[in-house]
């Protein structure tokens, strides 16, 4: 049977008396605003002492976390076949609290006041807890659904973030000797737990919809089998880096990679039926490849490091493929597909928006991934500057039409 859950979910967000299209116009600006801020940081980084830390958190805590909270709520209602809420008061409050907390975390580094960061982290924790409770309430209030496993992925991902946030806050106040293990734990749990589990759960239905083909037979069953493997892997990885037992941490990465490959096999079956031929599909495909590269580099880094401090120092080589290759590309790919449909207005407008966001997609995909492949190699500084500018240009080629689409949708009937 052809998968229509993700398409139905987005289509249900069109205009109407409930103002769902209006909601997505406003909510869609949140991740884009953080991406615009990321561009600003990239252009002014010589004047910012901690620009790397700021850039990482603008992408992960700002853009990705807002997108996850917005769209996981959206897909939860869709896969559980719940009626959409009569109003968005609860979501609006959660997003407001979330972004106040994010502002506190980001301000901490600018003013060098750890207590501001701790308060900000606590505020983010409160917003994410409210999101978790909302997910649980939705799951308990509905009859068993075929794709309810997607919500189980969201619950596991949210639980991982609620573990990672306090550790991140703790890093602000502990002594330097304890910080490397906490940093490794915080980074891995947030990247593999919060982001990767959410992506795996969402792509179960979103991927075949992006390709406009049917879901692979047994995809939902495979997703149910992969989830406990991934959770076990992330748990082992977290314990391994905290206790500094690299073989256990690498084993956790191997389990996580196994879960990813299981779900990737099902995605590959769908891609064999309908070859990717758009910016969203190729951006998501490239992201999956970089995720596997990042996991391999991560395992080598942990196993070769003599101590936690050395592993933390080397973690930058893991972050680049993780953040730019995986998180950045999967985020842009998903938004490029979801935003045109969620804004409503009928097939003609959806097609026009999609074509705008797809414009020059082969060049954009090739430029971004070739530049990233060169950037991660041991190349001279001049080459790194050139490739980073190419990556920035590829990001702007998405941001400019995406902002235009959102602003133009305000004028639709």
Domain boundaries, the chain: 5-407
pLDDT band at 413 (very low <50, low <70, confident <90, very high): low
pTM attached to this predicted model: 0.92
Residues 275-295 as b/e (b if ≥16 CB within 10 A, e otherwise) read: ebebbbbbbbbbbbebbbbbb
- Asked if pLDDT for residue 6 goes beyond 90, the answer is no
Q: How far apart are CA 294 and CA 26, in angstroms?
A: 33
Confidence of residue 142 (pLDDT cuts 50, 70, 90): confident
pLDDT at 2 over 90: no
Output the average pLDDT for the chain: 90
Q: What is the pLDDT of residue 15?
A: 41
**What is the Cα–Cα distance from 294 to 260, expressed in whole angstroms?**
13
Q: What token pair was written down for 143?
A: 């009859």
* Of the candidates 181, 160, 16, 165, the residue with the CA atom closest to the CA atom of residue 84: 16
Cα three-residue angle 25-398-101, rounded to 5 degrees:
55
Question: Which range among 167-181, 198-212, 328-342 shows the weakest confidence by mean pLDDT?
Answer: 167-181
Which residue is it, tokens 């490091």? 305
pLDDT of residue 176: 77
pLDDT value of position 114: 80
Q: Which CATH superfamily is domain 5-407 in?
A: Cytochrome c oxidase-like, subunit I domain (1.20.210.10)
């Amino acid at each position: 049977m052809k998968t229509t859950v993700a398409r139905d979910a987005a289509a249900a967000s069109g205009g109407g008396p409930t103002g769902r299209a209006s909601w997505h116009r406003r909510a869609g600006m949140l991740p884009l605003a953080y991406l615009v801020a990321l561009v600003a940081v990239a252009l002014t980084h010589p004047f910012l002492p901690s620009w790397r830390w700021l850039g990482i958190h603008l992408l992960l805590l700002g853009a990705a976390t807002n997108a996850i909270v917005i769209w996981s709520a959206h897909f939860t209602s869709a896969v559980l076949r719940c009626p959409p809420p009569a109003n968005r008061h609860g979501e609006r409050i959660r997003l407001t609290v979330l972004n106040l907390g994010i502002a506190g975390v980001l301000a901490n580094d600018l003013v060098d006041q750890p207590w501001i960061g701790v308060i900000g982290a606590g505020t983010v924790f409160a917003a994410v807890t409210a999101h978790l409770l909302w997910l649980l309430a939705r799951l308990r209030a509905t009859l068993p659904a075929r794709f309810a496993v997607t919500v189980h992925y969201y619950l596991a991902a949210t639980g991982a973030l609620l573990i990672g946030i306090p550790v991140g806050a703790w890093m602000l106040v502990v002594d330097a000797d304890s910080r490397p293990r906490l940093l490794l734990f915080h980074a891995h749990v947030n990247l593999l737990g919060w982001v990767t589990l959410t992506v795996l759960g969402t792509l179960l239905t979103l991927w075949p919809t992006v390709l406009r083909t049917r879901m692979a037979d047994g995809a939902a069953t495979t997703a149910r089998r992969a989830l406990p493997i991934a959770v076990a892997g992330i748990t082992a990885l977290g314990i391994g880096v905290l206790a500094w037992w690299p073989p256990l941490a690498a084993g956790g990465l191997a389990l996580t990679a196994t879960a990813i490959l299981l779900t990737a096999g099902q995605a590959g079956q769908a891609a064999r039926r309908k070859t990717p031929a758009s910016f969203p599909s190729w951006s998501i495909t490239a992201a999956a490849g970089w995720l596997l590269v990042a996991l391999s580099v991560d395992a080598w880094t942990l196993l070769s490091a003599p101590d936690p401090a050395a592993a933390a120092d080397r973690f930058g080589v893991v972050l680049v493929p993780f953040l730019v290759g995986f998180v950045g590309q999967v985020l842009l790919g998903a938004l490029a597909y979801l935003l045109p449909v969620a804004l409503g207005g009928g097939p003609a407008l959806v097609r026009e928006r999609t074509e705008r966001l797809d414009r020059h997609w082969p060049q954009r995909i090739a430029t971004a991934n070739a530049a990233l492949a060169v950037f991660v190699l041991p190349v001279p500084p001049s080459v790194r500057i050139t490739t980073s500018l190419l990556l920035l240009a590829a990001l702007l080629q998405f941001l400019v039409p995406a902002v235009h689409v959102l602003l133009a949708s305000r004028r639709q009937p």
